Chains A and B, each alone.
Chain A
Amino acid sequence: MSVCPHCQAPVVEGLLFCEECGGPLVPVVEDMYTTSFTGQLSVLASQATLTLEGPGRWLLGRGRGTASLQGATFIDLSPYGAYMEGVSRRHALLEISPEGRAYLTDLDSSNGTWVDHIRLQPHRPFPLPATARIRLGRMVLQWQHLSP
């Protein structure tokens, strides 16, 4: 059994916080308490940039009158040539979880979704790295996690 570095009380193996003094026994992420999570999505070909503030869900697709998904905001990529680039009407779902993690889910699109050359399995949320190149069909987007 080891001891707590803060109060020298004996601690059980596997504890994350000392039971006597509450001190951390693992590195604590200092920015853990930031409540706003933002990311930036840009369409490479047209330099259009969209800042997304989480938590939230965004449906990436094209076309007017496309019904969005429950609780998701629809992002219409038609102005950037989505149709010609093979983007489906409901192509992929971008999510920022309440904990600030970003996920991309392919919605069984016709031409597929790639994150940094990895093809996503349909309907399986894929955790996005801080910076990622997203490809919807042929359209290339850049994902950038801004804060925290």
Chain B
Amino acid sequence: MSAKDFVDFYELLGLPPNASREDIERAFRALARQYHPDLNPDPEAQERFRLLVQARETLLDPKRRALYDQQWRHIQGRTFHPAPDQAEEPTIPIPEAPEAPAKATTPETAPILEQEWYVETLYSRPGPVENLVPQRFYALTRWRPPAPPTREPDRPLFLCLVVDRSTSMQGRSLQILRRILSQVLPTLSPQDIVALIAFDDRAELLVPPRPGNAPLVLQVLMRLRPRGATEFMPPLRMARELLERRPRSTLPWLLFFTDGQAYDQPVVLEWLPTLQKEHILIDAFGLGTEWDEAFLEQMATSTGGTVTYIHAYDEGAKALQERLVRLRRAYVFAAFLEWELPPEIQVRTIVRMAPDIGYYPSGRNTIALGPLMPGEWWQILWEWDIVQPLPLHHRIHLRSTIRAHLPDGRVWSHTQDFERPVVTAEDVRSYTPAREVIDAVQRLSWHRLQEKARKALRERRPRKAQHYLQALAHHLTRAGEIQMAETVRQELNVLRDRATLTAEGEKRLEYGTRRLLLPILRRRNAV
């Protein structure tokens, strides 16, 4: 049947496509009185009456109506693009729901879901307790921006590899780095662009960025000869220039590999906001044990990136491989979260628990959340101290704004107000927080225990350190984190024997417990 021959019975009866049988019967009777050949001599009326009968017969028979509706939708869909108020889907009416929304149904070809941000916050208590200081308060917030309209193809990557070749890299560190990259680089596609910058106290562009040059990068890497001291600014400046000239559709990704520290670290930290402004993502990889955790941490997290401690090549290769696969699918390149806190609250800790781990230094009110892949969300655990006694009926109020930068330069932005009432001690007595909150805070507490152990060691209190590690091993075992519990026990033995930990042991504790902060499933895939 062509569109020309097709008669729109709904139009004829003056009914919406989801009209009920009663509606159809009623409309038919009214119109039949008007067009009945016995009452109306007009020849057109006769034809009209014939169609009305046909309409009634078709629409009152469920089987025939279903078939007709199918054609109706097909023809409606082809002959015109329905205006929003006509796009209502033809479905069978439902007696219980006569109030079915009169408003527009979104045309089914357009993205329907997640035209809005999905934001969810869970708290450790319904609210802070009145007149109680000090007091700890936790909030776990998730944000997910609107989903990409269609499944986007994986994007080519632009990797700017910045590799330390100072004298200290000689031997194991360089060996591990080579093995990691010789495992990962061959998996790149010919469209991917790689640049290689090596540095000691100066920087050198060994391989300029070109599509499909991963094999060349590997060759050059194999011939790399360590020499000289370490300076971080020259290679970072050079990397920034390369990233500025990258194709706009690629994510500006800087991978920084080092085994040591440099005297110009403070300069780098001051200069970081420039990189942040340009949405450059820095992932830092620490080789060996001499590198400065606090520095690499600050460098990476200020751009939304992560720090990976590499003590074995297979672990490092897996971590990098997984990152490659995920970043290829990124539909948000950079995101920033900004908030205003009331004076009665102080931020103690901010941890990004998804999609990647990030420890943010406290005392700031903007953080970079990093890129996001479809189906993932950003998740932040806030740990707050209530520092002023609050009266009952007061409300604490926090406003946060998140800005997500898309590959095409557009920005999705979302402002969220968090409000909590001040409650009585009675209100919290029997309150159990959501499972997610308990789980997140417990993971943070594991990380804290190893931090305390290491701090106790620095204060020359090995017994105290032992006590913390014992507790940590116990809780990890109970939670089923057997592998990490085993690592802790090994370090505990070292501590008992020598009353100290090795540098490697400390990093294993730090980054091992940190990895446990990732949601269980992501971690499973990663390991």
Are both chains from one complex?
yes
Evaluate whether A112 and B100 lie within 8 angstroms (CB atoms) in the complex, with A15-B136, A16-B433, A88-B89 already known.
Answer: yes
Contact in complex: A98, B521 (CB < 8 Å): yes
For chain B, residues 111 to 144, give those with C-beta under 8 angstroms from any C-beta of chain A: 111-116, 118, 124-125, 128-129, 132, 134-138
Q: How far is the CA of A70 from the CA of B443 in the complex (A)?
A: 31
Contact in complex: B115, A123 (CB < 8 Å): yes
**In the A-B complex, the 3 residue pairs with the closest CB atoms:** A14-B136, A17-B445, A71-B375
B115 to chain A, nearest CB (A): 7
8 A-B pairs whose Cβ atoms sit less than 8 Å apart in the complex: A13-B129, A17-B441, A24-B442, A32-B438, A35-B520, A107-B113, A110-B18, A111-B92
Q: How far is the CA of A123 from the CA of B146 in the complex (A)?
A: 11
Measured as residues with beta carbon below 8 angstroms from the partner, the interface class of chain A is 35 or more
Asked whether any CB of chain B lies closer than 8 Å to the CB of A79, the reply is no
B129 to chain A, nearest CB (A): 7
**Chain B, Cβ-Cβ closest to A27:** B432
Hey, what's the 0/1 contact readout for A1-32 against B, CB within 8 Å counting as 1?
Answer: 00000000000111111011111101111001
Hey, what's the 0/1 contact readout for A115-128 against B, CB within 8 Å counting as 1?
Answer: 00000001101000
Which residues of A are found within 8 Å of B472, using beta-carbon distances?
Answer: 22
**Chain B, Cβ-Cβ closest to A88:** B89
Contact in complex: A12, B446 (CB < 8 Å): no
For chain B, residues 142 to 166, give those with C-beta under 8 angstroms from any C-beta of chain A: 147-148, 150-151
Which residues of A are found within 8 Å of B137, using beta-carbon distances?
Answer: 14
B113 to chain A, nearest CB (A): 5
Q: How far is the CA of A48 from the CA of B460 in the complex (A)?
A: 66
Hey, what's the 0/1 contact readout for A28-69 against B, CB within 8 Å counting as 1?
Answer: 110011010000000000000000000101000000001101
Asked whether any CB of chain B lies closer than 8 Å to the CB of A93, the reply is yes
Beyond the given A84-B62, A85-B92, A138-B92, please list 8 additional residue pairs across the A-B interface where CB-CB is below 8 A.
A12-B134, A12-B135, A14-B129, A19-B445, A69-B147, A86-B91, A108-B105, A138-B94
Evaluate whether A83 and B151 lie within 8 angstroms (CB atoms) in the complex, with A15-B136, A22-B472 already known.
Answer: no
Q: How far is the CA of A98 from the CA of B519 in the complex (A)?
A: 7
A residues touching B (Cβ–Cβ < 8 Å)?
12-17, 19-24, 26-29, 32-33, 35, 55, 57, 66-67, 69-71, 83-90, 93, 98-99, 105, 107-112, 122-123, 125, 137-138
Contact check: which of B128, B151, B445 meets A22 at CB < 8 Å?
Answer: B445
Contact check: which of B66, B386, B441 meets A16 at CB < 8 Å?
Answer: B441
Contact in complex: A86, B136 (CB < 8 Å): no
Q: How far is the CA of A23 from the CA of B101 in the complex (A)?
A: 52
Contact in complex: A137, B91 (CB < 8 Å): yes
Q: How far is the CA of A26 from the CA of B442 in the complex (A)?
A: 10
Contact in complex: A70, B147 (CB < 8 Å): yes
Which residues of A are found within 8 Å of B111, using beta-carbon distances?
Answer: 69
Contact in complex: B375, A70 (CB < 8 Å): yes
B513 to chain A, nearest CB (A): 11
Q: How far is the CA of A16 from the CA of B440 in the complex (A)?
A: 10
Which residues of A are found within 8 Å of B18, using beta-carbon distances?
Answer: 86, 110-111
**Chain B, Cβ-Cβ closest to A32:** B439
Which residues of A are found within 8 Å of B43, using beta-carbon distances?
Answer: none
Evaluate whether A86 and B445 lie within 8 angstroms (CB atoms) in the complex, with A13-B136, A28-B438 already known.
Answer: no
Contact in complex: B108, A29 (CB < 8 Å): no
Contact check: which of A21, A89, A99 meets B436 at CB < 8 Å?
Answer: A99
Contact in complex: B94, A35 (CB < 8 Å): no
Q: How far is the CA of A123 from the CA of B445 in the complex (A)?
A: 36
**Chain A, Cβ-Cβ closest to B435:** A29
Q: How far is the CA of A19 from the CA of B383 in the complex (A)?
A: 13
Asked whether any CB of chain A lies closer than 8 Å to the CB of B479, the reply is yes
Asked whether any CB of chain A lies closer than 8 Å to the CB of B471, the reply is yes
Contact in complex: A16, B124 (CB < 8 Å): yes
Q: How far is the CA of A132 from the CA of B435 in the complex (A)?
A: 21
Q: How far is the CA of A99 from the CA of B441 in the complex (A)?
A: 14
Q: How far is the CA of A128 from the CA of B136 in the complex (A)?
A: 30
Q: How far is the CA of A90 from the CA of B452 in the complex (A)?
A: 52
Which residues of B are found within 8 Å of A17, using beta-carbon distances?
Answer: 441-442, 445
Which residues of B are found within 8 Å of A88, using beta-carbon distances?
Answer: 89, 91, 105
Contact in complex: B449, A22 (CB < 8 Å): yes
Interface centre among A19, A22, A107, A137 (most CB of B within 10 A): A22
Q: How far is the CA of A85 from the CA of B513 in the complex (A)?
A: 52
**Chain B, Cβ-Cβ closest to A1:** B134
Contact in complex: A110, B91 (CB < 8 Å): yes
Contact in complex: A86, B519 (CB < 8 Å): no
**Chain B, Cβ-Cβ closest to A36:** B521
Evaluate whether A90 and B108 lie within 8 angstroms (CB atoms) in the complex, with A14-B137, A16-B442 already known.
Answer: yes
